[in-house]
Amino acid sequence: MRQYPASSCNAAFVVNDLRTWAKAIFVSGLMLTLYYCAEEVPASNLPTPELAQSTCGGCHAFPEPQLLDKATWERAVLPKMKFMLGFRTGVPDSILQQFSEAGLGTQLIDQARLFPTEPTLATADWDRLLAWYLEQAPATLPAATYRSTPDTTLPFRLRLPSLRFSPPGTTLAKVLEPGKLMTADVQKSLVFQWNDQLELVKQAPFPSGAVHLNTEADALWLTGIGNFLASDRPEGFLIRYPNDPALPAQTPLPALRRPVHATFGDLNGDGLRDIVVCEFGKWLGALAWWERTPTGYRRHPLRESAGAVKTFLRDMNADGFTDVVALFAQAREGISIFYNDGTGGFREKSILQFPPSYGSTSFELVDFDGDGDLDILYTAGDNADYHPILKPYHGVYLFRNAGEDRFEPVYFHHLPGAYGAQAVDFDQDGDLDIAAVAYFPDYGQPGSPGFVYLRQDAPLQFSPHTFADHRMGRWLSLDVGDLDGDGDQDIILSSLAMEIADRRYLATQERWLRDGIPFLLLENTLLTKK
């Protein structure tokens, strides 16, 4: 297992924007044994740095004080940590409200006994931790370093749909085949089909925000998040639409906790397509695989914790069995391989861990260097847990597969608020380029665009490009495909115009609402259809 601390960044990704940083501060095994103990916990004789390591680093990468500025620690993170360690006095009401929700959600949290109800740390030790974090944390984070302002000579032609939606709420965009683009709008509760001219072909109501799409030979599957706002109520689902319009839609997997991604494959070798589902949740959630049976699906948990974002099904150790590779953006934030034993049993191996402040948003498995094994393209950039701050470790990362479950950082491009990236040979010169979006860019810095095209000019040497008006939308995600059928890869950017916390950029937000651009097509001009 490799931990990737922020100090290494210079040498070197929902919808996720509702994750909560402090939910990653789980109690250690010792704390759990003291869960119901109402007596005063004896004070520790550990030096404060060691106490911090044992208290705050037991279940995830240790959050170094230098990862956040002093004000963020004091106002947002430490009060949540205090609650999660069992203290109920001296916690602001605004913090307490984040640990409850109306109705079933709070009941489920209480039943899970996720948070201790009595202090699991001596008051004197908490006071030491509080003082140590505030003493060690910087007043401000190091200034972001932008390698260069991206070139605006982009080898793509910008195309917009004629229909506009205010506010734009696109949570899904997927190129299914040439001439067929699917999108979904959470504000309108609709799904849309477009042709290669970006003309609307048809639309249909969808009762929940559609956030992911899968296809099979005779049907289309949509993942409905259920509740777009953070919630543990089991209102999400997977729904199957047969290609034959005479057949009814079915909901084989109901009552899910904010599912955000699904992957299909045969995990137990019985010839049937099983489903791996990421239930992001809020405080509760899970990564589970659903075994296809003659009568439906049977659930098998892989990890019962919130924050699962995305999975890939690959044979990672060449033993002939399909493994699950997953990114978690909560709790033990990082990437794990769940190794398949061939009978449907899985063993988790953590391969990359990230501190809770990173805000993991996406990852891809791709053979970037052409050596025959799978490398990892990863983005960190979520910034919605508290008032957004610019973090020098936000951006696009590439980890090289060094064998034996070791992944080494070989490239980092600073991109504040990075939310997604894909590696594709856009210019067809034989190596992979990178396209990435940022949902929380530095609005005051031209070197921090909402979209960047990193063209690979030499091995691991990239030149950044964007388009001049990259702020025309708030880009949540991207998809790549040959929409116009000319043989090269185009890019779709999805816009979800939520509020900008920094009021200095209110005019940008008002423009998103006024123009109502739901998505943007970047049409690759390398080839043209004849």
Distance CA 469, CA 515 (A): 13
Give residue 446's pLDDT. 76
Residue listed under structure tokens 């049977």: 298
Q: What is the pLDDT of residue 363?
A: 99
Looking up tokens 């960047």 gives 452
Half-sphere exposure for 379 (CA within 13 Å, toward CB): 31
Q: Are the CB atoms for 419 and 384 separated by under 8 Å?
A: no
As a dihedral over the C-alpha atoms of residue 54, residue 60, residue 63, residue 68, rounded to 10 degrees, the angle is -150
Single-letter amino acid code for the residue at 129: L
Cβ burial 424-458 (10 Å sphere, 16+ → b, else e): bebbeeebbbbbbbbbbbbbeeebbbbbbbbbbee
3-state secondary structure of 523: strand
CA distance linking residue 349 with residue 183, whole number of Å: 35
Smallest Cα–Cα separation from 512: which of 476, 485, 481? 476
Q: Is 417 left (phi over 0), alpha (psi -120 to 50) or beta?
A: left
Question: What's the pLDDT score for residue 104?
Answer: 65
Name the one residue in this structure whose structure tokens are 């948003």: 361
Q: What's the start-to-end Cα distance of the chain, in Å?
A: 51
Query: Which string of DSSP letters, residue by residue, matches 74-125?
Result: IIIIHHHHHHHTT--SS--HHHHGGG--TTHHHHHHHHHT-S-SS-SS-HHH
Extract the residue ranges of the chain whose pLDDT is less than 70: 1-39, 103-106, 145-148, 530
Among 491, 498, 475, 480, smallest CA distance to 419 is for 475
Element (H, E) at 31: helix 29-33
For 476-513, the pLDDT digits (tens) are 999 999 999 999 999 999 999 998 888 889 999 999 99
Q: Name the residue type at position 50.
A: E
**What does the pLDDT read at residue 228?**
85
Long-range contacts of 273-277 (CB under 8 A, 24+ apart): 273/216, 275/238, 276/302, 276/311, 276/313, 276/324, 277/223, 277/238, 277/253
* HSE, side-chain direction, 13 A CA sphere, residue 506: 2
Residue 181 near residue 483 (C-beta atoms within 8 A): yes
Q: What are the pLDDT digits (tens) for 420-464?
A: 999 999 999 999 999 999 999 999 887 789 999 999 999 999 999
Residue pair 357/133 in contact (Cβ under 8 Å)? The answer is no
Task: Sketch out the chain's domains with CATH numbers.
Answer: 26-59+69-136 (no CATH), 156-524 (2.130.10.130)
Tokens representing residue 75 in the block: 């106002």
With left for phi above 0 and alpha for psi between -120 and 50, is residue 112 left, alpha or beta? alpha
Burial of residue 41 (CB within 10 Å: 0-12, 13-18, 19+) is: buried
